[in-house]
Amino acid sequence: MRERFMENGIEYVRCGNCYIPNLTVPECKHEIGKYGRIRKKHLKSNKRCSYSTLLMTGKLFEHLHEVDVQAQKILEQFIEQAEKNAPDKMTQQMAWVGHMNNAKACAEEIILSEIIYI
């Protein structure tokens, strides 16, 4: 009996009396940040079919990276806009901190509802 064979572009390996596909997950070429990890956790626990499809097609890490990039852009836009309307940092430090924290919280709420948990 053969130990390995190819069929339809998939290599099969003998394991006991059966042949199983020799599948591997592609190496991650992208850096996955906070929002990509949150998206991965959401997909894995709530959208198993989408997670499995992305994983088997080798597009999971690319998807997670894209989600992370989109989220960072939204966060940067909110922070940039908040800095334009913020109180003076030198004279009203606590008001400035509160304003910036509020902007970040608003951005994260939008990121989570519009990008991560869809």
Residue predicted with more confidence, 110 or 12: 110
The one-character DSSP state at 17 is: T
- Alpha-carbon span 115 to 111, nearest angstrom: 5
The single-letter code of the amino acid at 96 is W
Phi, psi for 49 (deg, rounded to 5): -65, -45
Give me the torsion for CA of 83, 88, 92, 96, rounded to 10°: 0
Question: Residue 98 pLDDT > 70, yes or no?
Answer: yes
Average pLDDT over residues 83-91: 93
Which run of H or of E encompasses 12? strand 10-15
Residue predicted with more confidence, 97 or 16: 97
Query: What does the pLDDT look like over 28-65, one tens digit per residue?
Result: 788 899 999 999 999 999 999 999 999 888 899 999 99
Provide the CA 63 distance to its chain's centre, in angstroms.
6
